[in-house]
């Protein structure tokens, strides 16, 4: 597996360096892959004047497991009309099949120009959204999203969210513990941390930018055994109960109660899979008043009983 950073003149340095650092840290933890820096130009300057030399040429072909990273650049719509950018667009158009493509900020523009976003949902920098919506109506650009994953395309909104996206990719591809260690090593506030008892549930519902809702999610994930009322959750974020319900529906697509059950059941799945605790004890540790209540909630979320779920991991 090779991770290719595809660079053009005036690439934003942190769009490039932020995700790169995530991948470097993951590799230091023992994850095996190559990292290459490729371009249609052998040398050019990043935004701000830092010059890059001796870059590799765009590869003639890719393996299916390879990953393409498209950082954004300054004045994207202008830069992407240059000869180097046009060559890059044609290369993307004719070379990408099912490989994973990560876009940061205005990197979504070059992906769209190459036809990689047709029929896809994606995000980009908020200042580009209206223009992208007008120029590329065959794809759906989403607002107020940190990153969006749709099939082989994972897109991020801007510079810092490129790091969030890279951490998500590392966590989902190589393991949640690897993503957590990388975030800790980089001293990055990881909205999907190793302290969360069920990281995949976190990831599913953390793809938004509302700080108050993030604060509530932190509280819930750090106190799985507690049962919060709507009033208590609203107080945490300094919101009214009505506002809280509306914001959860808007940003997460679920009610606060449904989110709470997803996190509890997610933690229970971990315990069922990796511990010998009884169903009764797991129910207690997850804040359920009885094993019957726990079983009912578990079936509602997973469509199977706790015992059926555990049997899948019993050999």
* Full pLDDT tens readout for the chain, 315 residues: 999 999 988 888 888 999 999 999 999 988 999 999 999 888 888 888 889 888 999 999 999 999 999 999 888 888 888 888 889 999 999 999 999 999 999 899 999 999 999 999 999 988 888 899 999 999 999 887 888 889 899 998 877 788 888 988 998 888 777 877 787 678 775 554 323 333 355 556 766 768 888 889 888 888 889 999 999 999 999 999 999 999 999 888 899 999 999 889 988 988 888 788 999 999 999 999 898 999 999 999 889 999 998 887 654
Radius of gyration from C-alpha coordinates of the chain: 22
The three-class DSSP label of residue 103 is: strand
Q: Let me know the angle formed at the C-alpha of 270 by 269 and 275, rounded to the nearest 5 degrees.
A: 110
Q: Helix (H, G, I), strand (E, B), or coil: what is residue 147? A: strand
Domain edges within the chain: 2-174, 195-315
108: alpha, beta or left? (left if phi > 0; alpha if psi -120 to 50): alpha
Q: Please choose, from the candidates 63, 35, 283, the residue with its C-alpha nearest in 3D space to the C-alpha of residue 170.
A: 35
The predicted structure's pLDDT at residue 200: 52
Task: Tokens for 86, please give them.
Answer: 């046009």
The pLDDT score that the predictor gives to residue 2 is: 95
Residue 189 is predicted with a pLDDT of 54
Task: Name the CATH topology of 195-315.
Answer: Arc Repressor Mutant, subunit A (1.10.10)
Strand partners, 67: 3, 100
* Domain 2-174, CATH number (from 3.40.50.880, 3.40.718.10, 3.40.190.10, 3.30.565.10): 3.40.50.880
């Amino acid at each position: 597996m090779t991770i290719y950073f595809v660079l053009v003149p005036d690439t934003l340095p942190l769009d490039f360096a932020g995700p790169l650092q995530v991948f470097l840290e993951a590799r230091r933890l023992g994850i095996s892959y190559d990292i290459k820096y490729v371009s249609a130009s052998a040398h050019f300057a990043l935004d701000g004047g830092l010059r890059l030399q001796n870059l590799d040429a765009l590869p003639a072909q890719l393996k299916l497991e390879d990953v393409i990273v498209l950082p954004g650049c300054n004045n994207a719509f202008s830069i992407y009309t240059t000869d180097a950018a046009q060559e890059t667009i044609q290369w993307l158009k004719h070379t990408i099949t099912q490989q994973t493509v990560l876009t940061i900020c205005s990197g979504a523009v070059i992906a769209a120009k190459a036809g990689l976003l047709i029929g896809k949902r994606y995000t980009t920098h908020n200042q580009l959204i209206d223009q992208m919506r007008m120029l590329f109506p065959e794809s759906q650009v989403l607002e107020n999203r940190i990153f969006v994953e749709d099939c082989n395309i994972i897109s991020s909104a801007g510079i810092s969210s490129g790091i969030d996206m890279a951490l998500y990719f590392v966590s989902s591809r190589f393991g949640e513990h690897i993503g957590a260690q990388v975030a800790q090593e980089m001293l990055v506030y990881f909205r999907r941390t190793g302290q969360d008892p069920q990281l995949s549930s976190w990831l599913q519902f953390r793809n938004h930018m509302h700080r108050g809702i993030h604060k509530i999610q932190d509280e819930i994930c750090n106190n799985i055994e507690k049962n919060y009322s709507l009033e208590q959750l609203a107080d945490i974020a300094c919101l009214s109960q009505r506002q809280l319900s509306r914001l959860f529906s808007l940003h997460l697509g679920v009610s606060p109660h449904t989110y709470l059950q997803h996190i509890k059941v997610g933690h229970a799945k971990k315990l069922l899979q990796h511990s010998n605790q009884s169903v009764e004890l797991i129910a207690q540790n997850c804040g359920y008043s009885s094993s019957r209540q726990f079983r009912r909630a578990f079936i509602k979320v997973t469509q199977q009983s706790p015992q059926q779920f555990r049997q899948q991991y019993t050999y």
